[in-house]
Amino acid sequence: MAIAMTVSEYLADHGVAYDVLTHPHTLNSNQSARASHVPGGRLAKSVVLEDDDGYVMVVLPSDRHVDLGELHRLTNRNLGLASEYELRSLFSDCETGALPAIGPAYGIETLVDEAIAEQAEVWFEAGDHEQLIHVSHEDFTALMGEGVRRGRFSH
């Protein structure tokens, strides 16, 4: 599979310079980081959560976990994991489990953890299990947009 069409169009629309890093097939972002020799702190993974108000994508380093308690305090929302069925519907051009960490491209409210937002360069899934997109800090920030909230909600 190639870069997800939504990701490709979003990158083009924002005029972002990027590299594609191909790696052996992996099952998750931690494996992708190892297979690509990318530090886990620089590979942005996405976790999609939901509540009665809708979906939220949280973006954090692949070597960290979401602190739901801190996220609740930050958002004042009681968020839980979105189901695999919902994810297939939201990210129809992506392979299951290879969600690009650019929620705005999919029209999803996005929160970015400071631990990934502070990196000089960022990698994220291209929509499959064999490619990563590599962008600069500045371009990653531009892809997230002005309306994206930042905070510390991982450990």
Number of domains in the chain: 1
User: Cα dihedral sign for 32, 83, 4, 53?
Assistant: negative
> Which helix (H) or strand (E) element contains residue 123?
strand 121-125
Residue 116 domain boundaries? 5-151
Tokens representing 28?
């998750």
For 7-73, strand residue ranges (E) read 19-22, 43-51, 54-61
Assess contact for 108 and 48: CB atoms under 8 A: yes
Residue 30 is predicted with a pLDDT of 86
| pLDDT computed for residue 36 by the predictor | 93
Strands 109-113 and 149-151: parallel
Return the CATH number at 75. 3.90.960.10
Name residues of the chain where pLDDT drops below 50.
none
The whole-model pTM stands at: 0.95
